[in-house]
């Protein structure tokens, strides 16, 4: 495995892969550790998780730079990602015991209750786009619940993968509570089939989700999937346009557009269309694209050159089918995996930017006549992860939100993940939930105890 800087295409470092025998030995050790870790009181687990949060904050610059160099995240967003990881560690350190407390149920018994108990070692298959956050939002609740964990991270962020393992070690977690497997995707089936793995969680692409879900079900193991998204950003006729426009660019360009919950389809009523097109185009066209380590950069490279080619193919095919370019629309010449911030309008059903997830800095504007058509267009997608609605009429916005087929809807705000709120999707965006009390209860044994 090797790291390549996507801003320059320069080689960074080689990392040795684990052999099959090394993987088996790691799984044995992590499973053995589970036998003692599950017995640890919440107070001990909480202390270690708080130390992890403190360590993350103390290493913010080091870890942020690693992300920027290895996958191209602009440095300001990388720092914010480290802080968010610390937040989720503190959240579960403070709340896990309460979230997993016995739940009494009134029955014909003298005493009956539900107990939430750990199940064993959980495999996490994680993506490169948020190389720390995606891992910590799984690991913090899993470890606090008393499980142990192994990570198979994306192959282009091996440095981040090993850094996360080191953080848990430095924070004082017992050896083999959390381990990184330096393996490629082809080795994942072997790990899922291993009896020491009790469940699997994946954040990634739709094809990867199908493969992991199939393997998990064949081996009668629970899985949680957070897959792609083509989130609608709905602008109704009474939207606060200045606030809406400012947020729209941020919502599209977070992580240079490489986010499952980034706004991708901008569904705009005709009365607001001209203003929205003009102002979003001005913002997108004026963004500074450059070195992610430059404090002034507002967008960096995509994570790999093949992603540039894939995104450009989606854009060009949509243009051929009638989409109109307001700004951008091409890769940026020179070294690095850079793509122009792009706004397309007159987007309609059948175009790639309407039907597919666009993982990069491309806005697709879809004109509609009213709120009813906006709902129909928003739901005309195989994805169902997140979305946002902009309207001064909150009652109307809530009514529209209830009709949107996604795992979350944000009214007059940008879609985001928050440790206090459940996160996940429906349809082809996956199933199960992360974060909140729903997330920590995904990988526990929900046990009924009944006393005569």
Catalytic residues: 226, 260
Strands ordered across the beta sheet of 430-431: 178-180, 148-152, 121-125, 197-203, 222-226, 430-431
β partners of residue 104: 113
Measured over the CA atoms of residue 136, residue 142, residue 148 and residue 150, the dihedral's sign is: negative
How many CB atoms are located within 10 Å of the residue 270 CB? 12
13/69 Cα distance (integer angstroms): 11
CB 308 within 8 A of CB 331: yes
CB 260 within 8 A of CB 137: no
100/259 Cα distance (integer angstroms): 30
Burial 402-431 (b: 16+ CB within 10 A, else e): eebbbbbbbbbebbbbebeebbbbebbbbb
Percent of residues in the chain assigned helix, strand, coil, to nearest 5: 45, 20, 35
CB 196 within 8 A of CB 28: yes
Q: What is residue 203's DSSP assignment?
A: E
CB 366 within 8 A of CB 267: yes
- Counting every residue written for the chain, the total comes to 452
262/360 Cα distance (integer angstroms): 9
223: closest CA among 121, 117, 122, 99? 122
How many CB atoms are located within 10 Å of the residue 363 CB? 32
How many CB atoms are located within 10 Å of the residue 31 CB? 19
- The first and second tokens of residue 359, run together, are 């993982």
β partners of residue 121: 148, 197
β partners of residue 151: 124, 180
42/45 Cα distance (integer angstroms): 5
228/259 Cα distance (integer angstroms): 9
Torsion from C-alpha of 202, 207, 211, 212, nearest 10 degrees:
0
């Amino acid at each position: 495995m090797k790291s390549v800087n996507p801003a320059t295409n320069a080689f960074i470092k080689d990392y040795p892969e684990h052999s099959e025998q090394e993987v088996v030995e790691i799984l044995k050790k992590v499973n053995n550790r589970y036998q003692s870790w599950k017995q640890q009181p919440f107070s001990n687990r909480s202390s270690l998780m708080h130390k992890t949060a403190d360590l993350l904050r103390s290493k913010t610059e080091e870890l942020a730079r690693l992300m920027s160099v290895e996958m191209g995240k602009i440095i300001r967003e990388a720092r914010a990602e480290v802080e968010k990881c610390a937040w989720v560690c503190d959240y579960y350190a403070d709340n896990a015991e309460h979230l997993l407390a016995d739940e009494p149920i009134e029955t014909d018994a003298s005493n009956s209750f539900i107990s939430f108990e750990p199940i064993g070692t959980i495999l996490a298959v994680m993506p490169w786009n948020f190389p720390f956050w995606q891992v910590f939002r799984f690991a913090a609740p899993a470890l606090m619940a008393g499980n142990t964990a192994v990570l198979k991270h994306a192959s282009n962020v091996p440095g981040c993968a090993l850094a996360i393992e080191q953080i848990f070690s430095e924070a004082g977690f017992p050896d083999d509570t959390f381990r990184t497997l330096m393996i490629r995707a082809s080795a994942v089936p072997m790990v899922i089939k291993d009896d020491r793995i009790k469940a699997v969680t994946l954040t990634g692409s739709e094809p990867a989700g199908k493969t992991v879900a199939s393997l998990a079900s064949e081996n009668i193991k629970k899985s949680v999937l957070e897959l792609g998204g083509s989130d609608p950003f709905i602008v109704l006729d009474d939207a606060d346009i200045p606030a809406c426009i400012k947020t729209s660019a941020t919502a599209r360009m977070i992580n240079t557009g490489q986010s499952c919950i980034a706004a991708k389809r901008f569904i705009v009523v005709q009365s607001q269309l001209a203003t929205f097109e003009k102002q979003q185009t001005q913002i997108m066209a004026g963004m500074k694209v450059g070195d992610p380590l430059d404090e002034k950069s507002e967008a960096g490279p995509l994570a790999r050159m093949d992603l540039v080619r894939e995104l450009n193919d989606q854009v060009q095919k949509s243009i051929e089918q009638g989409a109109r370019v307001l700004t951008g629309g091409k890769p940026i010449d020179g070294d690095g995996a850079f793509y122009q911030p792009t706004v397309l309008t007159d987007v309609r059903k059948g175009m790639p930017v309407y039907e597919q997830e666009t993982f990069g800095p491309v806005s697709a504007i879809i004109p509609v006549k009213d709120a009813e058509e906006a709902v129909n267009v928003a739901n005309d997608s195989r994805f169902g992860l997140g979305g946002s609605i902009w309207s001064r009429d909150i009652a109307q916005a809530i009514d529209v939100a209830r009709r949107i087929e996604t795992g979350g809807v944000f009214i007059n705000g940008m879609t985001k993940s928050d440790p206090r709120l459940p996160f996940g999707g429906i349809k082809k965006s996956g199933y199960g939930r992360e974060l909140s009390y729903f997330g920590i209860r995904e990988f526990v044994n929900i046990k009924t105890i009944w006393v005569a």
